[in-house]
Amino acid sequence: MTVTAASSVAVGSYIITVTGSSGSIAHSLTLNVTVAASAKTTFVVTQVSWTHRLSLTKSGSTQTFTLTVKNTGMSPAYVQVLAAGNSTNLKSFFNVKSRVALLSPGASMTITLSQPFNATSIGLKFNFTIQLLYGTAIDPSGTILSPNALQLVKSSFTVVR
């Protein structure tokens, strides 16, 4: 026998009665059923932004990636955002990470990553990805244990004077 609860059923303990019958014979049994919160971790990521044409003179020589992450799951999760990219000529790269933060169910946070560039990058196009790393535990140094990765953005920008 499989008992399935609708997503609208509140977490808690319930007593159900099961009746089986065949012809004139019937037997009933009561069962205790516990509906537990789903451990599934889900996120909504919004307001992702960066400068598509990074002007070193107008930006303070810094590319800024900003996004908002909301934990729409039922369990708290440790989260970290990683932006990594390579120039199309493969001679320059960057890798920048946010700090690890604990995000409670229903909570959201805005994360900003900054990566400096200099005049040697003028004229280069960078292909990059932004990933959300998440998990349920961290080690003593604050690193997420066995992180899951969710790719959020795959795009590019060009560095100009």
Backbone angles phi, psi at 18, to 5 degrees: -115, 130
Q: Average per-residue pLDDT in the chain?
A: 92
Domain span at residue 104 reads 43-160
Strand, helix or coil for residue 40: coil
Whether 65 contacts 51, CB under 8 Å: no
CATH of the domain at 155: 2.60.40.3880
Mean of pLDDT values over 44-59: 94
Structural domain contains residue 86 = yes
Strand boundaries in 37-147, DSSP class E? 43-49, 53-55, 62-71, 77-87, 93-97, 101-103, 108-116, 125-135
Say what the pLDDT of residue 40 is: 76
Q: Judging by beta carbons within 10 Å of its beta carbon (0-12, 13-18, 19+), is residue 142 exposed, middle or buried?
A: exposed
Structural domain contains residue 103 = yes
CA distance 27 to 23: 11
Mean of pLDDT values over 32-46: 80
| pLDDT confidence band for 144 (50 / 70 / 90) | very high
Structural domain contains residue 129 = yes
Strand partners, 78: 102, 135
Q: Tens digits of per-residue pLDDT, 88-122? A: 999 999 999 999 999 999 999 999 999 999 999 99
Say what the pLDDT of residue 7 is: 66
What total number of domains does the chain contain?
Answer: 1
CA-based nearest residue to 79, from 51, 60, 107: 107
Residue written as tokens 């992450």?
69
Q: How far are the Cα atoms of 17, 24, 25, 96, 155 from residue 131, in angstroms, in the given order?
A: 47, 62, 60, 11, 12
Structural domain contains residue 139 = yes
Structural domain contains residue 140 = yes
Q: Is the pLDDT of residue 57 over 90?
A: yes
